[in-house]
Structure 1
């Protein structure tokens, strides 16, 4: 329990103390008595407020507990208990971070009663992240508002604010047809989605699975694959280096990049692609043993991006191919020539490599940005066979950039995205 004087109480105590000093100097006993009473009143109020016991229990409910940035959620406080409330009522203060809108101040004038009561308020997260709401405190004041005591009623609750997702359309040409399909050569025996898939015969294969028509055509034993072919998968790399981004808060370039990565992952999932989301060091953020997730991995992708923090790395150094030999879509901030060289040399020849390149200079509002040149970076990537689309500022539409990247899959079409 924490007891303290209100602003009114502190002013009254200061006035009483000053009057007492004046009374002593002037030798005014009547004034001294009044001053002593004035100074003692807030101290007495603080002692009484500390002795006030309110038999009250509380439970917090956040509905929904997972929400996109900019969307509303409701916090319900279920209060129960018996007994009388102080004459001045009961003040409730819930610990809400600034990113969620600030702390609400509520007042309870009636006791909850036998069946309890519910007090609710709404919050709207302005920033993604794993936010903690709480603790819930009660503030009991004396009737004159001179002192108050504070008690904790409920602990913390979690609210996950996931990145804002933009609806996208289309896929880049050849997306999902990465190299290295488990080392197998999978050939169609006919046409259509349900056609039989075959591969070369291996020692130990059941002879009943031999596809004689394809064996005769290729002049080697071929066996049926009963399962449908698996796409090689797509890796989405999110550049979350603090040094690679500019701006602050929800309008920073890193938040734009994270929102773009989330939107791309969900679009790939919706199109049946297996997606692997990795950080600047190539570490998977989601997925199973191989790091890939399917259409049921939307929640995992959004939760991982909600918790993602800026990396202290200065440059883009993965060490190994971040795409694991498959298709790669990188969402990049400011990248040096060394970072571009490191990234491109790790990619196998012929693998689909695409990049959404942020012109972070437009987020900083500065004409120069530490020597980083988005145009030069884009040229270096394209010279290495990458497909590049540029986000030219905070007003750039993620959907427009993605659409442009899809169109850039055609040869000899490399231009910047209009704002």
Structure 2
């Protein structure tokens, strides 16, 4: 239950031991029995304290909870420790500090009050239990082990100090930051793609949806105001053909060169933000990675957002590609009823990879490629030639800023296509 570290003398213990040695030398020099007795007492006292701390360990049971259970990188998590004395003897007053992994700010040592002996019945009486709390702020996503709890005590005379690790470690899941993204990209077609949007603008009389009467729970964005005004009752778009719109996202997880870890972290944060944004819009989101497959692959609400960010918390870069990534991704896109919103988040810049992805443009609308590293920018020419909208995800821009750039670039590309259609 308790792992003991090597006890060491305190400053007082060193001074007392040194005084004892001096008295022993003086006793031999002057032949004084009283000095010999005092010297032996002072010399052996720190040694006795060290032995006592080695064998007289605190028997404590520690329960550990987090609020929330999973925290986003950069946010605070409240750590609650329930410490109970399971020894038949009271514990002395001690100090405590929790064991934190790298990336967490260390906490200052705090006092742990004396706890009474546990009841003979084995049931906690209240005074043998104390609750400890502190706040941690992880800065980077991942899974971390917090604990064990480190308690430090001294002997009654303050001659020696010993530290003990009590309780077990517990995993804390730190998910990537999920930024709130503004409108402008995925909301354009709600799964229909840009081409139907062009048809609506070139042929304004086309009627693609069937109105029906409003039912409680229908989102207000589906209200069809023309039909409402004509029939004098609230009508909404039927949109049965779009009851399960799809969107696809490809995340580059292959390490192309050393030192691109920060770019990969930005890529994961962007992937989490985009995917959660799409889920909140009602999309069925397919997520593929270019390296070893570690994600479930398909997500939808309810629950899909929590599942995805939890999986992304432990996602690591791979050294080798995960097979025919483009082929699997293309198969998913071809399975959709029409061109669907598709997002590429590239960080590795594998040679020739951009050309393979460029060929998928006919299945994607809108088609957005986020280039997170200079190496990934090598694919820009081939992607833009095929019609992809490319956005540079430079360091210093958060996911919301990169998404805003994508929205602006997409609007410009759409306006250009509207102009081309009008000229025909």
The TM-score, its normalising length taken from structure 2, stands at 0.70
| C-alpha distance in structure 2 between counterparts of 1:315 and 1:382, whole Å | 25
Tell me the CA shift for residue 409 of structure 1: 3.0
In the alignment of these two chains, the number of paired residues is 353
Deviation at 1:350, TM superposition (A): 4.2
1:329 maps onto 2:343 in alignment: yes
Answer yes or no: is 1:351 the counterpart of 2:364: yes
Residue aligning to 2:284: 274
List aligned pairs for 1:320-399, cutoff 5 A. Answer: 320-323=327-330, 324-325=332-333, 327=340, 328-345=342-359, 347=360, 349-352=362-365, 353-358=367-372, 360=373, 372=375, 374=377, 376-393=378-395, 395-399=396-400
Match of residue 313 from structure 1 = 320
8 Å contact from structure 2 (residues 16, 42) kept in 1: no
Aligned to 1:209: none
Check conservation: 1:163, 1:305, Cα contact below 8 A. yes
For the pair 1:128 / 2:128, whether they are aligned, the reply is no
Is residue 97 of structure 2 the alignment partner of residue 93 of structure 1?
A: yes
1:153 aligns with 2:166: yes
Alignment equivalent of 1:44, drawn from 44, 48, 63: 48
Question: Of residues 70, 75, 93 in structure 1, which corresponds to 2:74?
Answer: 70
Deviations 1:330-381 (A, max 9, x none): 1111414422123334x263433321111x35xxxxxxxxxx372x431221
3-state SS, counterpart of residue 101 of structure 1: coil
Higher mean C-alpha displacement, 402-411 vs 124-133: 402-411
The answer to whether the 8 Å contact 1:332/1:355 transfers is yes
One of 241, 253, 256 as aligned partner of 2:254: 241
How far, CA to CA, are the matches of 1:413 and 1:29 in structure 2? 104
In the alignment, what sits opposite 1:79?
83
Aligned to 1:100, the other structure's residue is in SS state coil
Determine the structure 2 residue equivalent to 1:198: none
Q: Which of 204, 209, 213 does residue 191 from structure 1 map onto?
A: 209
Aligned to 2:61: 57
Deviation at 1:3, TM superposition (A): 4.8
Partner of 1:176: 191
Cα distance in 2 between the residues matched to 1:83 and 1:397: 55
Q: Distance in 2 between matches of 1:56 and 1:13?
A: 32
Counterpart pick for 1:257 among 264, 267, 272: 267
Q: Which has the larger helix fraction?
A: 2
In structure 2, how many angstroms separate the alpha carbons of the residues matched to 1:229 and 1:273?
Answer: 10
- Helix, strand or coil for the counterpart of 2:135? strand
- Structure 1 CA distance, aligned partners of 2:45 and 2:286? 67
User: Structure 1: how far apart are the matches of 2:348 and 2:170?
Assistant: 37
Are 1:302 and 2:306 an aligned pair? no
Deviation at 1:382, TM superposition (A): 0.6
Change (3 A) 1:389 1:13: same
* Residue matched to 2:113: 109
- 1:122 shift after superposition: 1.0
Cα distance in 1 for partners of 2:108, 2:115 equals 20
State the TM-score, normalized to the length of structure 1.
0.70
Contact 1:241 1:310 in 2 (8 A): yes
Q: Secondary structure at the match of 2:256?
A: helix
| Secondary structure in structure 1 of the residue aligned to 2:138 | coil
What RMSD over aligned residues (CA atoms) do the two structures have, in Å? 4.0
Query: Residues of 1 paired with 2:343 and 2:318: CA distance?
Result: 19
Q: Counterparts of 1:28 and 1:293 in 2: how far apart (Å)? A: 89
Is contact 2:291–2:321 with CA below 8 Å preserved after alignment?
no
Unaligned residue ranges in structure 2 (runs of 5+): 118-124, 195-205, 214-237, 416-424
